[in-house]
């Protein structure tokens, strides 16, 4: 990413993978937000939607084209 909203500048995001009995657990984080404002809420919602789409694809082979996503 070369340019972002100023609210993102101090943030970092990443993930850890952990083996569990039934497969792999993905632990995602997006940290160091300066305030819990609209951008934080919107970003959290978007991450949830993207990660749910990844889960559906990996577990069920369901891929929703970008233009058909809500």
7: burial class by Cβ within 10 Å (0-12, 13-18, 19+)? middle
In a domain, 29, yes or no: no
Domains in the chain, number: 1
**What is the mean pLDDT of the segment spanning 34-58?**
93
Task: Spell out the residues 6+ positions from residue 50 whose beta carbon is closer than 8 angstroms to its own.
Answer: none
Structure tokens at 5: 């909203």
Q: Is 15 helix (H, G, I), strand (E, B) or coil?
A: strand
Specify the pLDDT at position 16.
97
Specify the pLDDT at position 1.
67
Residues in the chain, overall count: 70
Specify the pLDDT at position 28.
95
pTM, entire model: 0.78
12 vs 33: CA distance, rounded Å:
9
Q: How confident is the model at residue 2 (pLDDT cuts 50, 70, 90)?
A: confident
In a domain, 40, yes or no: yes
In a domain, 56, yes or no: yes
Specify the pLDDT at position 5.
87
Domain extent for 60: 36-64
């Amino acid at each position: 990413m070369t340019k972002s909203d100023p609210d993102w500048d101090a943030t970092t995001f990443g993930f850890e993978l952990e083996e569990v009995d039934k497969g792999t657990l993905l632990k995602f984080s997006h940290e160091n937000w300066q305030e819990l404002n609209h951008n934080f809420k919107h970003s959290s919602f978007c991450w949830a939607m993207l990660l749910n789409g990844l889960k559906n694809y990996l577990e069920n082979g369901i891929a929703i084209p970008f233009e058909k996503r809500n």
